[in-house]
């Protein structure tokens, strides 16, 4: 005989087990047995029966007997009590019940399995599901519990079973149970199984049983959620509240590690339940990762504590299941590493030196300093993103200075200044395109053709060139590539503009000037948003226009209204626009 000491109340405290009656008993038999047992209980005597399962005699006290009678007498409760008890309807089923009552659960399971395929019916399947449950509890056998869940799943999902069971049940029904109650009860079975699962978990400490129950019914019962999951989830939320409540400047490394370790342990405990497809836990992981990321950003922004910030981001990586969150976290990590590298290699100082050289128009020295610093980055294994970031900053410094020359109408000097960012980036296309030879070669072909065209085209075609350049740059998904390509195009096209403007021997028509101005406005708007260093943004102030200035605005309204509108939106007055065009017109006619 197998020990029955491990059987929990949830299994043996069935009304029919307490009264020592088969589940097919009628109300008259039930009431008679109840009165008999109550009278014995009053004199502190207990009657035992051959079909008793587990330590049921402990529940043959007056109050328990009355409660059992009450459950059997109610329509809904009676259905539940009968369903979760053994069906005693044949010689074989009585044999199984006898084995169960003696604690021979494995033998009872084997007996039921022997009948499979030879007259095995739905009642036998329900008895087998119960027998496996008893065997699982008596021996802490996880496999038996899983198999029991599989049978319960088949029973719950089978319309055939419920059609059969309703007819079977009504054969002995005296309470007028209606069809709708069977459907209602069918939908609630997983809650009872959930309660048994919680009991089995507490008995065995097998966390994977929670996942097995979820897998069987694709839902989490109230008992599992409230008794098992929520206590751990509340601990996670409490730790997050603590971290969010502490000011970034007051959070020490040891304290941060301790809190993050707790959160990590809580989620490890949740992971052991094998609920990877359970959406509330997926949401919890992603939400927690987002909050930890937010805390990390605050910490880094407030006091530049990279060590603590990286601790939070590492925990985010372990938790997040959302690709978008993981991408954000990886970007944050790269930014912190970039900032650290920037600081360690004193790049700020190098950039300041380069800027000073450019301002002094020592372009070749600045260019050499750019190359020297980039070589230093390579020697220190600085990543691609940081190298490109450095090169883009340097290129923009050159281009900004070149535009100052354009504004000063010093086109020979602007032609020279635009050369350096062009060369700096063009010689590092392998880096920019990250080894994508096909995309790199395609870009070079476009660049050669477009540059050749720009050297010989009519001034009005510069707009077409710019459109092509913008279209080409937008096709790149990598932001580093996109920014670098835009700057190469800007330097190349503006270099051609400078060359044409600097060529005093080439006769320029007023129409060509309009093309140059149009391309100038668009490029400035796209990359720097500044017409000239001497223009001021006071568009909201009305100006009185001269007849000549009115003519310029009228021409633009007729020939390029879209451009005029965009420049106005940028904040420039009509007078500023007209004066800028007229000044360049004078220069080119000269």
**Boundary residue ending a domain (282, 317, 343):** 343
Highest mean pLDDT among 114-118, 430-434, 560-564: 430-434
Same domain for 193 and 299, yes or no, is: no
pLDDT value, residue 540: 30
Same domain for 33 and 165, yes or no, is: yes
Interhelix angle 411-426/363-379, rounded to 10 degrees, is 10
Question: For the segment 284-338, what is each residue's pLDDT rounded down to a tens digit?
Answer: 999 999 999 999 988 888 777 788 888 999 999 999 999 999 999 988 888 887 7
**Rounded-to-integer distance, Cα 172 and Cα 17, Å:** 18
Q: What is the chain's alpha carbon radius of gyration, rounded to the nearest angstrom?
A: 41
Same domain for 55 and 26, yes or no, is: yes
Residue 103: inside a domain? yes
pLDDT value, residue 583: 63
Q: Place 585 in a pLDDT band, splitting at 50, 70 and 90.
A: low
Report the chain's mean pLDDT, rounded to a whole number.
Answer: 84
Residue 3: inside a domain? no
Same domain for 48 and 190, yes or no, is: yes
pLDDT value, residue 186: 95
Q: Place 246 in a pLDDT band, splitting at 50, 70 and 90.
A: confident
pLDDT value, residue 308: 86
Mean pLDDT calculated for residue range 548-556: 79
pLDDT value, residue 571: 57
DSSP secondary structure letter of residue 525 = I
Cβ burial 331-358 (10 Å sphere, 16+ → b, else e): ebbebbbbeebbeebebeebbeebbebb
By CB atoms closer than 10 A (0-12, 13-18, 19+), residue 530 is: middle
Same domain for 478 and 584, yes or no, is: no
Same domain for 353 and 325, yes or no, is: no
Q: Comparing 73 with 348, which gets the higher pLDDT?
A: 73
Residue 264: inside a domain? yes
Q: Place 2 in a pLDDT band, splitting at 50, 70 and 90.
A: very low
Q: DSSP readout, 223-281?
A: HHIIIIIHHHHHHHHHHHHHHHHS-GGG--HHHHHHHHHHHHHHHHHHHTT--TT-HHH
pLDDT at 373 over 50: yes
Task: Decide if 378 contacts 431 (C-beta within 8 A).
Answer: no
Highest mean pLDDT among 108-117, 459-468, 546-555, 557-566: 108-117
Same domain for 206 and 253, yes or no, is: no
pLDDT value, residue 580: 65
**Rounded-to-integer distance, Cα 552 and Cα 421, Å:** 34
pLDDT value, residue 524: 39
Instruction: Report the number of distinct structural domains present in the chain.
Output: 4
Residue 251: inside a domain? yes
Same domain for 328 and 473, yes or no, is: no
Q: Which structural domain range is residue 52 located in?
A: 9-219
Question: For the segment 470-517, what is each residue's pLDDT rounded down to a tens digit?
Answer: 677 777 767 888 889 889 988 988 888 888 778 753 444 334 444 444
Same domain for 323 and 383, yes or no, is: no
Residue 169: inside a domain? yes
Same domain for 127 and 274, yes or no, is: no
Residue 253: inside a domain? yes
Same domain for 213 and 227, yes or no, is: no
Same domain for 500 and 385, yes or no, is: yes
Task: Decide if 123 contacts 112 (C-beta within 8 A).
Answer: no
pLDDT value, residue 167: 94
**Boundary residue ending a domain (497, 513, 534):** 534
Residue 1: inside a domain? no
Q: What does the block give as tokens for 581?
A: 């065009």
pLDDT value, residue 528: 35
**Rounded-to-integer distance, Cα 81 and Cα 250, Å:** 59
**Boundary residue ending a domain (191, 219, 247):** 219
Q: Place 81 in a pLDDT band, splitting at 50, 70 and 90.
A: very high
**Rounded-to-integer distance, Cα 468 and Cα 457, Å:** 14
pLDDT value, residue 460: 60
Q: Place 463 in a pLDDT band, splitting at 50, 70 and 90.
A: low
For the chain, the residue count is 590
Q: Place 538 in a pLDDT band, splitting at 50, 70 and 90.
A: very low
Task: Decide if 397 contacts 354 (C-beta within 8 A).
Answer: yes
Question: For the segment 389-418, what is each residue's pLDDT rounded down to a tens digit?
Answer: 899 999 999 999 999 998 998 989 999 999
Mean pLDDT calculated for residue range 359-387: 90
Residue 4: inside a domain? no
Mean pLDDT calculated for residue range 97-103: 92
């Amino acid at each position: 005989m197998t020990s029955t000491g491990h059987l929990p109340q949830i299994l043996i405290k069935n009304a029919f087990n307490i009264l020592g009656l088969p589940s097919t008993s009628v109300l008259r038999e039930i009431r008679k047995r109840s009165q008999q047992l109550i009278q014995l209980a009053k004199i502190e005597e207990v009657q035992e029966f051959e079909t008793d399962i587990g330590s049921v005699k402990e529940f043959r006290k007056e109050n328990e007997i009355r409660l059992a009678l009450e459950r059997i007498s109610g329509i809904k409760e009676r259905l539940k009590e009968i369903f979760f008890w053994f069906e005693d309807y044949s010689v074989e089923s009585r044999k199984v019940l006898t084995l169960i009552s003696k604690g021979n659960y494995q033998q009872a399971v084997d007996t039921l399995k022997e009948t499979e395929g030879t007259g095995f019916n739905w009642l036998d399947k329900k008895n087998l599901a119960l027998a496996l449950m008893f065997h699982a509890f008596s021996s802490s056998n996880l496999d038996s519990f899983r198999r029991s869940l599989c049978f319960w799943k088949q029973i719950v999902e089978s319309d055939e079973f419920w059609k059969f069971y309703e007819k079977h049940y009504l054969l002995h029904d005296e309470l007028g149970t209606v069809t709708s109650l069977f459907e209602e009860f069918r939908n609630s079975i997983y809650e009872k199984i959930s309660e048994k699962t919680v009991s089995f978990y507490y008995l065995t400490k097998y966390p994977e049983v929670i996942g097995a129950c979820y897998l069987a019914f694709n839902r989490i019962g109230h008992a599992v959620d409230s008794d098992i999951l929520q206590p751990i989830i509340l601990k996670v939320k409490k730790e997050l509240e603590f971290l969010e409540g502490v000011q970034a400047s007051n959070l020490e490394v040891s304290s941060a590690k301790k809190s993050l370790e707790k959160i990590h342990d809580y989620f490890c405990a949740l992971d052991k339940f094998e609920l990877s497809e359970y959406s509330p836990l997926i949401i919890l992981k992603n939400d927690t990762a987002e909050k930890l990321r937010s805390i990390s950003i605050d910490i880094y922004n407030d006091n530049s504590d990279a060590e603590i910030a990286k601790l939070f981001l590492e925990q985010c990586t372990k938790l997040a299941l959302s690709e978008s969150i993981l991408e954000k976290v990886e970007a944050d990590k790269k930014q912190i590493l970039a900032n650290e590298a920037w600081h360690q290699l004193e790049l700020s100082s190098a950039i300041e030196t380069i800027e000073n050289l450019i301002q002094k128009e020592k372009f070749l020295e600045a260019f050499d300093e750019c190359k020297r610093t980039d070589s230093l980055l390579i020697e220190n294994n600085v990543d691609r993103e940081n190298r490109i970031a450095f090169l883009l900053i340097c290129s923009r410094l050159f281009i900004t200075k070149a535009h100052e020359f354009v504004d000063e109408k010093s086109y020979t000097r602007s032609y020279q200044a635009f050369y350096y960012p062009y060369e700096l980036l063009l010689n590092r296309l392998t880096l920019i395109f990250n080894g994508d030879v096909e995309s790199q070669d395609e870009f070079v072909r476009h660049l050669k053709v477009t540059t050749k065209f720009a050297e010989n085209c009519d001034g009005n075609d510069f707009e077409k060139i710019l459109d092509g350049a913008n279209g080409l740059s937008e096709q790149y998904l990598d932001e580093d590539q996109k920014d670098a390509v835009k700057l190469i195009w800007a330097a190349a096209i503006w270099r051609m503009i400078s060359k044409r403007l600097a060529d005093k021997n080439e006769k320029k028509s007023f129409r060509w000037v309009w093309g140059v101005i149009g391309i100038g406005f668009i490029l400035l708007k796209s990359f720097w948003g500044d017409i000239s260093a001497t223009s001021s943004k006071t568009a909201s102030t009305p100006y009185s226009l001269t007849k000549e200035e009115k003519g310029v605005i009228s021409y633009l309204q007729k020939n390029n209204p879209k451009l005029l509108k965009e420049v106005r939106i940028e904040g420039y007055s009509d007078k500023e626009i007209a004066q800028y065009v007229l000044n360049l017109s004078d220069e080119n006619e000269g």
